[in-house]
């Protein structure tokens, strides 16, 4: 297991199977899935399978989404992190992407931005990626705001799975 990352208020660590209840609270909420194709999960077994799938990515690809936990209470807030994407999206293939998803009651406290900053540093300094990418539904104002706060540059809009998406890029200043 990789060493967790600590920020001012958060612990970022690899997902474990005991995060399943938190993942279920996160992914069973239709509001969370509004800009994600709107297919909330129906039972906790789906969340267990998702965690297993992410753990397999850690093994196969060396990275994947991590749990975001509140330092003060040890509460599971959601996930963020760097995923290696092997399928083709917006003419890119085999690229590193940043993402985030939080339980609704924890929105609006700056957690996505705080975790996102730490993962940008991790991607550039530890994984040593040349560039990070992100994409979001064009209407997902919250997600776009976070990307801009993290220093990402809007590149283009494109259609993906019948939705209008926006594509962002951040180059590693050290490469």
Ligand X SMILES: CC(C)(COP(=O)(O)OP(=O)(O)OC[C@H]1O[C@@H](n2cnc3c(N)ncnc32)[C@H](O)[C@@H]1OP(=O)(O)O)[C@@H](O)C(=O)NCCC(=O)NCCS
Which residues of the shown chain bind ligand X in the complex (CB under 6 A)? 32, 35-36, 100-102, 107-113, 136, 140-143, 145-146, 149
DSSP-assigned beta bridge partners for residue 167: 135, 156
| Packed helices 44-61 and 20-27: angle between N→C axes, nearest 10 degrees | 110
Segment (H or E) for 95: strand 95-102
Residue 136 contacts residue 157 (beta carbons within 8 Å): no
CB of 38 to ligand X, least distance (A): 11
Closer CB to ligand X, residue 102 or residue 124? Answer: 102
CB of 56 to ligand X, least distance (A): 22
Closer CB to ligand X, residue 32 or residue 82? Answer: 32
CB of 147 to ligand X, least distance (A): 8
Residue holding tokens 């997600």?
143
Q: Which residues in 31-69 are b (16+ Cβ under 10 Å) and which e?
A: ebbebeeeebbeeeeebbebbeebbebbeeeebbbbbbb
Closer CB to ligand X, residue 49 or residue 141? Answer: 141
Report the C-alpha dihedral over residues 122, 65, 129, 152, rounded to 10 degrees: -80
CB of 146 to ligand X, least distance (A): 5
Residue 14 contacts residue 1 (beta carbons within 8 Å): yes
CB of 77 to ligand X, least distance (A): 8
Residue nearest to ligand X (CB): 142
């Amino acid at each position: 297991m990789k060493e967790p990352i600590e920020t001012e208020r958060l612990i970022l660590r690899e997902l474990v199977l005991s995060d399943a209840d938190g993942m279920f609270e996160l992914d069973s909420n239709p509001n969370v899935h509004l800009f994600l194709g709107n297919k909330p999960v129906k039972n906790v077994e789906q969340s267990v399978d998702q965690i297993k799938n992410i753990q397999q990515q850690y093994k196969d690809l060396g990275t994947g989404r991590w749990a975001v936990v509140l330092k003060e209470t040890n509460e599971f807030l959601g996930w963020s992190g760097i995923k290696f994407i092997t399928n083709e999206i917006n003419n890119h293939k085999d690229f590193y992407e940043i993402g985030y998803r939080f339980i609704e009651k924890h929105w609006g406290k700056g957690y996505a931005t705080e975790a996102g900053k730490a993962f940008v540093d991790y991607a550039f300094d530890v994984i040593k990626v040349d560039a990070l990418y992100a994409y979001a539904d064009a209407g997902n104002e919250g997600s776009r705001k976070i990307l801009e706060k993290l220093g990402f540059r809007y590149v283009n809009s494109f259609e993906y799975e019948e939705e209008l998406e926006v594509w962002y890029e951040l180059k590693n200043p050290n490469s």
